[in-house]
Amino acid sequence: MGIGNYEVVRSKRKSLSLTVTRDRKILVRAPLSVSEEQIGNFVMAHGKWIERRLAEMRYTPTFSDGSKILLLGQEMEIASMARAAVKDGVVYLPRADRERALESMLRRLTRERMQRMLLCICEKEPSLEFTKLTVTGARGRWGSCSSKKHISFSFRTAFLPDDLAYYLCVHELCHTLHMDHSAKFWACVARLVPDYAKKRRALKSYLWAMNCL
């Protein structure tokens, strides 16, 4: 869908808003008094944001056989099998309840990968440790760390490549020492991931994953 193709929904609201829906439609919510020209100018002014959102959503799976899904940072094809599994670049899903089966598999993959990485990092840096790992369905953030050194990750981290998943593990482990984003915290991150700023920017291209499942 091009930027010039959008749907307008008018209501008794005070401002314009813009949304790109999960089925890649551009939706503009507008006050009753706003003209078509004003709406068009509003959409064009946000053209780069719309293009970025559409690009981010290109890997959002439809879950049908033959469709593509970006998993563990790799583009894979979906196919049918009795049980959910990943093998030789193919994501196998049962024919029924595919989304639930995929989420269950992603939770398992997330726990296995993130725990492995966390333990590896703690072995390198004895000052870093965690008490518990939990996999959640969080949409607003990739991970979190409590004052009790309890680390949580969204199962959607399973869509990320290893280098970004590793950065997230380092980020949350450094929070076990510094519960803020102070200079000391970022120095802790930089010791293990010198190009952490690049990794943070790269995560923005995976924001589509937060709306997946």
User: H/E/C letters for each residue in 37-59?
Assistant: HHHHHHHHHCHHHHHHHHHHHHH
pLDDT along the chain (213 residues), means of 10: 78 91 84 93 89 69 84 92 92 92 96 98 96 94 96 97 98 97 97 97 87 80
Q: In 3D, which of 79, 74, 84, 81 has the Cα closest to residue 104? A: 84
Q: What is the pLDDT of residue 117?
A: 98
Q: What is the pLDDT of residue 23?
A: 72
Q: What is the pLDDT of residue 2?
A: 54
How many alpha carbons lie under 13 Å from residue 64 in its C-beta half-sphere?
2
**What residue segments make up the domains of the chain, in order of their start?**
7-58, 97-211
Sign of the alpha-carbon dihedral angle for 36, 41, 45, 47: positive
- Cα separation, 202 vs 182, in Å, equals 21
| Residue 8: Cβ within 10 Å count | 15
97-211: what fold?
Zincin-like (3.30.2010)
168 burial level (CB within 10 Å; 0-12, 13-18, 19+): buried
- Cα separation, 187 vs 184, in Å, equals 5
